[in-house]
Amino acid sequence: MEDNQFNLSFNDQKNVLFRLMRYTLPFKGTLTLGFIMLVISTITGVATPYLVMVFIDDYLTPGIFPEADMTWLITIFVLVQLVGAAATYMQIYLFQYLAFKVIQQLRIDAFDKIGRLGMRYFDKVPGGSVVSRITNDTEAIVEMFIGVLATFLMAFFMVISSFVMMFILDVRLALLALLFMPVIVLILGIYRKYSANFFSHARQLLSDLNAKLAESIEGMKIIQVFNQEGRLGREFNEINESHYKYNMKNVRLDGLLLRPAISMIYVLAIAVILGYFGLLSFSSTVTAGVIFAFIQYMERFFEPINQVSQNLNIFQQALVAASRVFILIDDERIEPHQPETSDYSITDGHIEFRNVTFSYDGRTDVLKDISFTARPGETVALVGHTGSGKSSIINLFMRFYEFSEGEILVDGHSIKDISRQALKKRVGLVLQDPFIFYGTVESNIRLYHPEMTFQQVKAAAEFVYADKFINRLPDGYQHRVIEKGGAFSSGERQLLAFARTMAMDPKILILDEATANIDSETEEQIQQSLERMRQGRTTLAIAHRLSTIQDADQILVLNRGEIVERGSHDALIRHGGIYHKMYQLQNGQHQLS
């Protein structure tokens, strides 16, 4: 499985965080209001111990309770609590709103990038890994905004304000409390170093789990037929066990360096404070209110740090997850460039390959000096053994992959200079195993082209003879189609794919072994449809059954990436070469069966 181990350095983490923060820029108003609510909430939190200190020292200790003073003090105390509660609610709401908006845009960017990635990317990265990045990884980022960003900001404000109040109460003791900070920073630094590595591995293994699960579900029929359940189960369990181990390493790290360590420092700090006040009481008066307030501010100083340390694991997880999403967004393996607009359009459908050489990996050529011409209205068939280069020719013509040697011309213009819209609109592709989308029969033919009318959809279905089986469905064109068209036969799915292609009225037709998997019930119908589709259109057809391309204007025989024979069916049979042997082999098999 092609993926990276995301071991992030401090600079990497900083860059990822800054990039995430840039996603908040469109919501500056929300972010500013959230900060204001956070500051108000912090101020009310700091004011509470001070008000209690005033009550203890000025009223409780002397034992005097003036009615007017008590009314004002209670009123201020209640107002402070109400304002604090309202500010806390608004702060939580605003940061959650911000989190969901940021993740919404991040998912849109990631999904848009998937649509622009070339086939080279999907050749290397499992589908389950891609799904994991857009779902699990982005969900981890949500937790960072909700549980970490607000916590970190509140901790920052609370620690600063608590220090200010401690300095107001007693400068020497505040300076003494400050001595604990280097120890806390050291603990958090050690945690960050090791937890980043553990989270990187755990996140990668979760991606591998998703990939293995997606692969198993996709290939469940083959798994069951070949009795591979045990092997797949063992492989899944190995990944799952590794995922568990790395998570447990992080749990042990959390248990050692987070709350227990910070709590131990807090206890030591409280002991120092009480010891200091105890010594101070021998030489001067120490009020109960000041002791209470100082302890409260120490708690408000350490508790945010505790919360930050508890959320560091979420923070680390979110940064690793975000880096995975950004690596997807930044991936340069995009589909070959096509101009959005150009002066060239496909009118005749004249195709010419000139000395095209191509390699998938940059080392081994799968196509070598390929040259041929398909004139308007002609059918050129590509035949050859597996790995001979047939599909590679189609992949280059459909612009799934970029090529650097040779030229592909359409109507005399380089295919690289024709606009994306013109190319996709005038070139129709029918695959060996057509993909049927969840929805209705009509939506699968229309493919959500808003300008296409129902009459055009119906005419396309009638043109390829798909209307016969569609009209037998309970709801006709509005019949609900389950995932991948599982309720239809392979022939019916192929007819839907034919109708989908003809609805766009292409000038060039690409058939990638379109008759390889059809059932006998619809074979004759499929052949009639193909014959009708090819009329007046330039056709490139990869042929598995040689009997289906005997009427082709030109047949190209490929072997190891080279065209070794070319001509009509009769000419190649007379030549007695590779094509003749393939034809004899297929006819012999048919006679035996």
Residues 398 and 421: their CA atoms lie apart, in Å, by 13
Distance CA(419)–CA(570), nearest Å, equals 39
Nearest to 207 by CA among 81, 104, 106, 324: 324
Q: What is the rounded distance in angstroms from the CA atom of residue 98 to the CA atom of residue 93?
A: 9
pLDDT value, residue 496:
87
CA 27, 29, 30, 34 torsion-angle sign: positive
Mean pLDDT of the chain: 83
Q: What is the C-alpha to C-alpha distance for residues 311 and 319, in angstroms, rounded to an integer?
A: 12
Give the least confident one: 269-283, 366-380, 437-451, 548-562: 269-283
Q: Which of 24-38, 211-225, 329-343, 383-397 has the lowest mean pLDDT?
A: 211-225
Check residues 161 and 590 and name the one with the higher pLDDT: 161
Higher pLDDT, 587 or 501: 501
**Using one digit for the tens of pLDDT, what is the confidence trace for 16-69?**
888 888 888 899 999 899 889 988 988 888 888 888 888 888 888 888 888 888
Of 6-15, 45-54, 107-116, 478-487, minimum mean pLDDT range? 6-15
| Most confidently modeled range among 188-202, 284-298, 354-368, 507-521 | 354-368
pLDDT at 521: 61
pLDDT at 514: 66
> Which two structure tokens, joined as six digits, stand for 492?
């019916």
Residues 6+ apart with CB under 8 A from 10: 192
372 pLDDT higher than 80: yes
Do residues 501 and 429 make contact, with C-beta atoms less than 8 angstroms apart? yes
- Sorting pLDDT into bands at 50, 70 and 90, what band is 258? low
Q: What pLDDT is attached to residue 413?
A: 92
| 207 pLDDT higher than 90 | no
The pLDDT value recorded for residue 310 is 67
Mean pLDDT of the 456-460 span: 89
Burial of 323 (0-12, 13-18, 19+ CB in 10 A): buried
What is the band of 370 on the pLDDT scale with cuts at 50, 70, 90?
very high
Mean pLDDT of all residues in 206-223: 78
DSSP assignments along 469-483, one per residue: HHHTSTTGGG-EE-G
445, 494 in Cβ contact below 8 A?
A: no
Q: Highest mean pLDDT: which of 127-136, 156-165, 536-545?
A: 536-545
Instruction: Flag the least confident range among 70-79, 82-91, 195-204, 511-520.
Output: 511-520
Q: Is 553 helix (H, G, I), strand (E, B) or coil?
A: coil
Q: Once rounded to an integer, what is the mean pLDDT over residues 409-428?
A: 89
- Structure-token match 């195709």, residue found: 351
Q: Is pLDDT of 527 > 80?
A: no
CA distance 307 to 47: 20
Most confident of 90-94, 253-257, 379-383, 480-484: 379-383
Query: Confidence band (pLDDT; 50, 70, 90) for 180?
Result: confident
Query: Could you give the CA distance from residue 12 to residue 453 in angstroms, rounded to a whole number?
Result: 52
Tell me, yes or no, if the pTM score tops 0.75.
no
Least confident interval from 2-16, 28-42, 321-335: 2-16
Residue 552 has pLDDT above 80, yes or no: yes
Percent of the chain whose pLDDT exceeds 90:
18
Q: Are strands 351-359 and 562-567 parallel, antiparallel or unpaired?
A: unpaired
Residues 407, 221: Cα–Cα separation, whole Å: 42
pLDDT at residue 468 is higher than 70: yes
Q: Averaged over 443-458, what is the pLDDT?
A: 85
Q: What is the pLDDT of residue 517?
A: 59
Q: Is the pLDDT of residue 262 over 80?
A: no
Strands 554-559 and 379-384: parallel
**Average pLDDT of 199-211?**
78
Contacts of 387 (CB under 8 A, 6+ apart): 366, 560
Of the candidate ranges 34-38, 286-290, 496-500, the one whose mean pLDDT is the lowest: 286-290
Q: Residue 92 pLDDT > 80, yes or no?
A: yes
User: pLDDT exceeding 70 applies to what percent of the chain?
Assistant: 91
What is the reported pLDDT for 282?
Answer: 67
Q: In this predicted structure, what is the pLDDT of residue 4?
A: 45
Q: What is the mean pLDDT of residues 132-137?
A: 83
- Between 498 and 527, the higher pLDDT residue: 498
In the numeric block, the tokens 């007819």 are attached to: 495
- pLDDT attached to residue 298: 79
